[in-house]
Every structure is written in C-alpha cells, then in structure tokens.
Chain A
Amino acid sequence: MTTITIDAAGIHYTPLNKQIRQAVRDGASEIILKNVMGQRFIGDGLIGNVKITIHGVPGGDLGMFMKGPTIEVFGNADHAPGNTMDEGTIIIHGASGDATAHSMRGGKVFIRDDIGYRGGIHMKQYQDKRPVLIIGGTAKAFLGEYMAGGLVIMFRIQDEEPYAEMGLASGIHGGEIFIRGAVEEWTLGIGSSARPATSEDIDRIKSFISEFSQYYGIDPVKLMNSSYTRIAPVSARPFAGKYTWE
C-alpha cells in the first residue's frame, strides 16, 4: 500500500500524467493529487488498479480511455469525464459538464450532483463490458442520445416532479435508462419508449443504488423504495426504415 502525493499546482497536464504513470510503474496503489486546477486528460489511457484521489477541479476528458483505475474527485468535473472509458470507476463529489460518459464502453461513473447536456451519449456494451452512469442529481437535455448499450440511472434526489428535458434517449438502440419518478411523455426522443420499472427491474439496479449511497453517505432506503421509469429502445434498428436503395 504505497501512497504518493503530487501537488499539481501549476503543472501542465502532460508532465502531470507522466508523473502519474511513473508512480503507477513504481507500484503506487494510491495517488493523491492536490490543487488540481483545470488539468485535462488526468488518467487518460491509464491501465491498472491504482486509486487516484483528486482535490480541486479536473479539466475535461477525465479518465478518457482509462482501463482499470478508480478516480475519486472532491470537487466538480468539467466536460466528458469517462469519455470512451474502458474499465474502472470515477466517483465525483460534485457535478460534471456536457457529454459525461461519452461513448463509454465499460466501468462505472458516479456523479453526486447534476450533469450537463448529452450525458451517456453513445454508451455501448459488449459481452461482459457494460458501462454504468449513475447521476445523483438531474441531467440536461439529450440524456442517453444514440445510446447503444449500458445502463444509466438518474436519482434526481432533489426533484419529485416529472423529468422534463427534451430529446431523452433520442436514437437509442441498446441499453436502458432508469429515472426515479415520472417522465413527461414529450421528453422521449426518436426510437425510445418508457414504462414504469418493474420490481424485477429494481432488483437489477439495487446493487448500484447501494454503491452510490455508500460513496456519498446517503441513506439508500428512500432510493430503494422509490418508483422508477425505464427508458429503452423500441428497436435495435431505429433508422432501418428510413432508406431505400438506388
């Protein structure tokens, strides 16, 4: 159990990532980054089981292409944390920007508060790789657009009225989205359908509710006992009927 602390104040992301990689090569099991201020690409393409704790505000593409590590951020994250991420976990004690979990293919991303536009866009799954995006707050429009696989759970802890952002799961052709409470009918984008989640559905997401509650010190009971709406694709081929051949 080796812990390495790096003061990131004033360090450009390239040398910072080099230091992180070196620490991983040297066998560090935990890396603490202090005074992070806008450095992009932290953990980009990083492979291993290391835990990275970030104090401050990381820049965009946090954990992009990452395969294995756990990143915990005490602060907000910028755009696209978990972009094209492969394996591992990102836990954000705060909010995140647009395109959170963009094209994510595996691992888990937890956001305590709200996320920006187009969260979970084009997430996809394959065999045992099933990415999970869990949002404590709420998401702006086009959540799960183009979604091809994976799981999105949104608790909307502060909200009890129906979810009302446009383009929900527009173009979805794989995966599923659970939203606590009701969803306005008009929010549903092209190719998506909604129905109340069944108790079997809830059973499938219980472990994620527990994990989420544990990270943020929340009582899971309220979340466990809530009703959810499940959004899923109408078809795996939403646009198949749009074309004819010359």
Chain B
Amino acid sequence: MIIGSRPTKFQVVIDKNQCMLCGRCVDNCSYGVFRMEPEGIITNTRNCVACHRCISQCPRDAITIMERPCDYRSHPVWTAQVKENIFKQAESGKILLGGMGNAQQYPILFDHLVLDACQVTNPSIDPLREPMELRTYIGKKPRQLEFIQKSDSDISLVTELVPNLKLETPIMIGHMSYGAISLNAHKAMAKAVSDIGTFMGTGEGGLHEALYPYQEHMIVQVASGRFGVDVNYLERGAAIEIKIGQGAKPGIGGHLPGEKVCADVSCTRMIPEGSDAISPAPHHDIYSIEDLKQLVISLKEATEWKKPVFVKIAAVHNVAAIAAGIARSGADAVVIDGFRGGTGAAPSVFRDHVGIPIEAAVAAVDTKLRRQGIRNEVSIIASGGIRQSADVAKAICLGADAVYIGTAALVAMGCRVCGTCYRGLCTWGIATQRPDLVARLDPEEASHNVKNLIDAWTLELAELMGAAGINSIESLRGNRDRLRGYMLDQSMLDVLDVKAIGA
C-alpha cells in the first residue's frame, strides 16, 4: 500500500432524472461497471474502459463518461501515463502490455501532406459520369514484355504472367486472427470483401470452416507459430502471406493467452484448448534473407506455383533495403506495417517506441525499388494507421499499390478503440470469444457497415483522383508530384520526395 489508489481513468455518471431503470447498461457492460440496486443503478466507475457500449444502448442518453475527472498534477514530462506505468512496474516488476496501436503523440505525417487538384491547365474528371479505374492487381509483373511478331497485325505475347490478385479497389483488410477477434467479426469482414471484390487476411489463426465460402477473397497467413497451417489451408487461400513482423511490435513474437483459446479457436489453430498460442519472434526456419526465399519457394512448391506469396514486415529503420531483399526472394508483394498499426496486445514499450511510420516507410521502399529497377518484382501494400480515404490516396501517391486497413474496419463494426482487446471482454462482440458477447455482433449487419465504409472510401478516392485529373489508379501510384508537404522539414521532404507547399 505504499502507492495506494490512483485517480479513476473514467468516471461514469448516470443522470437520475433521465434514467428509466431499464437495466440495459447493466446487461451490456461486461466489465462490471453497473449493478441494479433497489435505490437505482450503482456504478463501479473504476472498472470502466470507455468502450461506450452502455452509452450506445441507453435509450434516454442518461449516461455520461468523463475522462480523468480527477487528474494528477499536470506536468509536461511526468505525465499521468508515465507515473501510472511506474506505479504498476514498481508493484509488479513486469513488462507492460497495452492494446491497440501506438499511443504516443508523434506527429502524423499523413496530416502534413496535402493532395492536389486541377485548375484550368487540365480538367478535373467527374467520376460519377466518366470512367474511373481503381482496379488494382497485386503481384509480380514482368519488367518488360516479349512478343513474337508474325505479321503486321499478328503479334503474340510470349511473356507469361504469374498469378496476381485482382482488386476492385485498392483497399484490403489486413490480418487480424480468429482468436484475437471473433468469428462473427471475421464473417462480417469476409462477406464484405467478397461483395466488394477485394481481400482480407486470416491472421495467424487458421481458417475457420465458416469462412470457406469466402476463401477466394481470403489471404491465408503463415506466421512463425505456423498455427492452423497445413496443405488444405494453403490451398484454400487466394494468396499466402508470410508474416515476419508487425508494426505494433516489431521484432517480437505474439502470444494468444490460453483463456482465449476456446474449443473453436483451438480447432482452427490446431492446438489444445486452453494452451497458450505462442508465436516465436523469428520464424525458426528463417534466420537470414536466403531462408526467407526458401520459405517463399516452399509455399509456392506446396501450392504448385498457383498462389501469390506476400511477405509482411514491420516498418523499421532499414525497411527499404529489407524490402529490396524481399523483392529478390520470389515474393509477389511486400506488406509494410507502420508503427501506428493496431494489435490486440503488445508490450507498450514496443508499441510506442519501436519502428517508423508507414508514410516514410512506403516512400523509402518505393524509391529504393525503383532505383534498383525492381519495382515490378513486388507490389507494395501499406498498412498501419490508415484512417480515411485521404490516407489511402496519400499512401498510393507515396508509392503503395494498395493498403490494408484494420482498426478502421473494426470501428465500422462498433469498436470504440478503447484499447482493452486483451481482456477478452469486448462488449461489441469483436475482440472476444465469450459466446454471449460474440452473439451481439450480427455478421450480416456488420458486413454492411464494413462494405459501406470501403465503398465510401472508394468513392472518395475516385473523387480525389478525378479532381487531380487522373482516371486510373496506376497514374496516382508513386505520383508524389501530386502531394505537397505542409510544415515538414527539408530532411523529411527529401525522404518523402515531396515538395513543400507553394513550391
């Protein structure tokens, strides 16, 4: 008791005049904030995580949640977070874990980049009335084509194209495993991407039978734990992704706690119920770049060269050179996950302090691959902190072929980014395996929301392209001339290869 109680993070207040004692807040809160007593609804405010489920279900808007109503003495260096972390570690001697993405106040580069539009010297294109092409092919392309010309009009192509994924919009949903999130969440996203004509990742949790109908739109992941990986799984996927690292926790492995390994999760992961699912930090058959090539080729051999193989890495300092190595490994796409990427749980010290943002990483990778003349060898998929259509457009301008979204898709299904995924009590039925909570998420309805979100972003992307006088996504890709940096220093502008506003 040296340290004692800390101020509550959230204070839940019920307006007694409004409350009709319907008890929905009691039923909906899985964290045990509310209980019904004869004198009314009583709150245990310390349990609140601000998931806002209660607010969303209250028919009378009777609930208010205030953040840190009683705070520590303000200090720019010794912030509340810093102090609380010290308290916890002083008491426990343990590594701090946190949920969701990077929580530090780093400047967001996307918000310091502005897009271009046409005025006079060329016309904007109206995407609602004129053709606008967002179709994107992900995979290896030839460096050049070879033809045989038999006569003037009879030319035949000699070059064989290798399999590519055909996307109707350059927006995919990244890998969040079944186990980390619920089957209903997976079903909803799988249905949405199938309806749209894009793809989603399985994460390292295997592929549940319920998702087999959507398998042509699923990218199956092979991570260091190899959970759920067998020939059947590889054959079902539209593409295979080797996960080397993740933006939220570069350089370390993953750990699904035993309590989340229920019967169904155990089945798709192919591990015993209740046992920890530990993904080692490295793949233990990859200790060097030539070993990566070996894994890429082994997956291609196992699937008879019919599937594109992606390699996902966390954006770290030397990301460009690493990506260039991956481009030479036989992989068809490289996924770069920036340090704002989400996660169910990561050591906060990694989440907040290791890696670099996606904007700089994509720019550096695209530049490096072009300089080495190997840009066609791999597609670039940007991920980690894509929040809106403008981020998609900017990522593509910086050199990405497509993006993965993650958190945004969860928010479309109700997630409030409370960052408490690791508790397994997600009131929205997303990051939980508790049947009663999972049942709250209706896959049909949730799928509409996810589809709506991607459709809306796609429309906005088309509008942005049209305004820039571009009617095909190829012409936006790597087109950094259509970006300007706002309040970025020269060295940052150089990395992004973007001019300053007004220049």
B88 adjacent to A236 (CB under 8 Å): no
Within 8 A of A (CB), among B343-357: 347-348
Q: A41-B301, A44-B301, A236-B276 are in contact. Are A242 and B94 (CB under 8 A)?
A: yes
Q: A21-B304, A83-B285, A121-B280 are in contact. List 14 more A-B contacts (CB 8 A).
A: A41-B302, A80-B285, A105-B270, A118-B284, A122-B284, A124-B271, A129-B270, A145-B284, A148-B271, A173-B276, A174-B271, A243-B96, A244-B94, A246-B348
B230 partner residues in chain A, CB cutoff 8 A: 65, 67, 84, 86, 105
For residue B89, CB closer than 8 A to chain A, the reply is: yes
B234 partner residues in chain A, CB cutoff 8 A: 45, 65
B257 adjacent to A240 (CB under 8 Å): yes
B284 adjacent to A61 (CB under 8 Å): no
Within 8 A of B (CB), among A143-198: 145-146, 148-149, 171, 173-174
Question: What is A's interface to B at a CB cutoff of 8 Å?
Answer: 13-14, 17-18, 21, 40-41, 44-45, 47, 60-61, 64-65, 67, 79-80, 83-84, 86, 99, 102-103, 105, 118, 121-122, 124-126, 129, 145-146, 148-149, 171, 173-174, 236-246
Which B residue's beta carbon lies closest to that of A83?
A: B285
For residue B298, CB closer than 8 A to chain A, the reply is: yes
Taking a contact as CB atoms closer than 8 A, the residue among B99, B267, B278, B284 that contacts A99 in the complex is B284
Measured between alpha carbons, how far is A149 from B356 in the docked complex, in Å?
A: 37
For residue B411, CB closer than 8 A to chain A, the reply is: no
For residue B225, CB closer than 8 A to chain A, the reply is: yes
For residue B226, CB closer than 8 A to chain A, the reply is: yes
B347 partner residues in chain A, CB cutoff 8 A: 243
A45 adjacent to B231 (CB under 8 Å): yes
Measured between alpha carbons, how far is A118 from B283 in the docked complex, in Å?
A: 12
A239 adjacent to B276 (CB under 8 Å): yes
Taking a contact as CB atoms closer than 8 A, the residue among B96, B227, B302 that contacts A245 in the complex is B96
A124 adjacent to B270 (CB under 8 Å): yes
B274 adjacent to A103 (CB under 8 Å): no
Contact with A along B288-314 (1 / 0, CB 8 A): 000000100110011111000000000
Q: A44-B302, A61-B294 are in contact. Are A84 and B271 (CB under 8 A)?
A: no
A65 adjacent to B231 (CB under 8 Å): yes
Within 8 A of A (CB), among B259-284: 266-267, 269-272, 274-276, 278, 280, 284
Measured between alpha carbons, how far is A149 from B363 in the docked complex, in Å?
A: 43
A146 adjacent to B270 (CB under 8 Å): no
Measured between alpha carbons, how far is A80 from B98 in the docked complex, in Å?
A: 35
Contact with A along B201-245 (1 / 0, CB 8 A): 000000000000000000000001111011100100000000000
For residue B477, CB closer than 8 A to chain A, the reply is: no
Question: What is B's interface to A at a CB cutoff of 8 Å?
Answer: 85, 88-89, 92, 94-99, 224-227, 229-231, 234, 255, 257-258, 266-267, 269-272, 274-276, 278, 280, 284-285, 294, 297-298, 301-305, 347-348, 419, 422-423
Taking a contact as CB atoms closer than 8 A, the residue among B258, B272, B298, B305 that contacts A237 in the complex is B258
B98 CB to nearest A CB, Å: 4
Taking a contact as CB atoms closer than 8 A, the residue among B95, B99, B275 that contacts A174 in the complex is B275
Q: A45-B303, A122-B226, A122-B284 are in contact. Are A246 and B85 (CB under 8 A)?
A: yes
A240 partner residues in chain B, CB cutoff 8 A: 257-258, 276
B459 CB to nearest A CB, Å: 38
Measured between alpha carbons, how far is A124 from B284 in the docked complex, in Å?
A: 14
A173 adjacent to B275 (CB under 8 Å): yes
**22 intermolecular pairs with C-beta atoms under 8 Å apart:** A13-B301, A41-B301, A65-B298, A83-B298, A86-B230, A103-B226, A118-B284, A122-B224, A122-B280, A124-B271, A148-B275, A149-B272, A171-B278, A173-B275, A174-B271, A236-B276, A240-B276, A244-B89, A245-B422, A245-B423, A246-B88, A246-B97
Q: A61-B285, A148-B278, A244-B96 are in contact. Are A40 and B297 (CB under 8 A)?
A: yes
Measured between alpha carbons, how far is A86 from B235 in the docked complex, in Å?
A: 14
A46 CB to nearest B CB, Å: 8
Measured between alpha carbons, how far is A49 from B199 in the docked complex, in Å?
A: 35
A125 adjacent to B226 (CB under 8 Å): no
B426 CB to nearest A CB, Å: 15
B112 CB to nearest A CB, Å: 28
Taking a contact as CB atoms closer than 8 A, the residue among B272, B284, B302 that contacts A64 in the complex is B302
B301 adjacent to A14 (CB under 8 Å): yes
Measured between alpha carbons, how far is A40 from B298 in the docked complex, in Å?
A: 8
Which B residue's beta carbon lies closest to that of A146?
A: B280
A41 adjacent to B231 (CB under 8 Å): no
Measured between alpha carbons, how far is A142 from B225 in the docked complex, in Å?
A: 17
B389 CB to nearest A CB, Å: 31
A102 partner residues in chain B, CB cutoff 8 A: 284-285
A118 partner residues in chain B, CB cutoff 8 A: 284
Which B residue's beta carbon lies closest to that of A84?
A: B226
Which B residue's beta carbon lies closest to that of A64?
A: B298
A19 CB to nearest B CB, Å: 13
A61 CB to nearest B CB, Å: 5
B347 CB to nearest A CB, Å: 7
A47 adjacent to B231 (CB under 8 Å): yes
The 10 closest A-B pairs by CB, nearest first: A45-B302, A246-B98, A244-B94, A103-B226, A126-B270, A44-B301, A244-B92, A41-B301, A65-B302, A236-B275
Which B residue's beta carbon lies closest to that of A104?
A: B226
Measured between alpha carbons, how far is A185 from B285 in the docked complex, in Å?
A: 28
A44 partner residues in chain B, CB cutoff 8 A: 298, 301-302
